[in-house]
Amino acid sequence: MAKKSAGILLYKYEAGALLVLLVHPGGPFWSNRDLGAWSIPKGEYEAGEEPEAAARREFFEETGIAVTGPLEPLGEERLKSGKLVAAFAGESEFDIASIRSNLFEMEWPPKSGRMQSFPEVDRAEWFTLDDAREKINAAQKAFIDRLEARCNGP
């Protein structure tokens, strides 16, 4: 069975423009990657857990901020890895200066025998929709399209 992940695409309006919040993965593998490396804050969940609850938990783990407002489902997308990602949208004025991510450990440099800690997320940023489409992992672009359709719909 494919792994499942859930996340939240936060959005806000600034000077009439719709902006979305994306996060950049931490760790040495991602340090020099930009286009296609950004993501919605998300993480895996187990069978029996509600995707929305998992999305809220994972957002908190990756940013240190609890999303308490209502969320709207944006559907699911399958990543190249086979993982199924469920996304939810919520409007918020998230302050990126207050981001505090959980840490993970890995051997670094490889085969060195030394374990180092890295943040799951090393930064967060608000992007216009066009910029977000360039920055986000390609499999997640559909979430931006669905949010745009909702926000610009009738």
Find residue 121's DSSP bridge partners: 25
Amino acid at 20: V
pLDDT of amino acid 34 = 87
**pLDDT digit string, tens, across residues 109-149:** 899 999 999 989 999 999 999 999 999 999 999 999 999 99
pLDDT of amino acid 153 = 64
pLDDT at residue 69 is higher than 60: yes
* Spatial separation of the C-alpha atoms in residues 94 and 63, rounded to whole Å: 10
**pTM here?**
0.92
% residues pLDDT > 70 (the chain): 98
Residue 67, C-beta contacts closer than 8 angstroms, at least 6 positions apart: 8, 10, 56, 59, 60, 90, 92
pLDDT at residue 1 is higher than 90: no
- All structural domains of the chain, each given as residue ranges with its CATH number in brackets, are 4-152 (3.90.79.10)
3-class DSSP state of 4:
strand
pLDDT of amino acid 29 = 84
Query: How many residues does the structure list for the chain?
Result: 154
**pLDDT digit string, tens, across residues 14-46:** 999 999 999 999 988 888 898 989 999 999 999
- Answer yes or no: are the C-beta atoms of 63 and 23 closer than 8 Å: yes
**Among the listed residues 91, 3, 14, the one whose alpha carbon sits nearest the alpha carbon of residue 54:** 3
pLDDT of amino acid 154 = 54
* Spatial separation of the C-alpha atoms in residues 9 and 57, rounded to whole Å: 14
- Answer yes or no: are the C-beta atoms of 101 and 25 closer than 8 Å: no
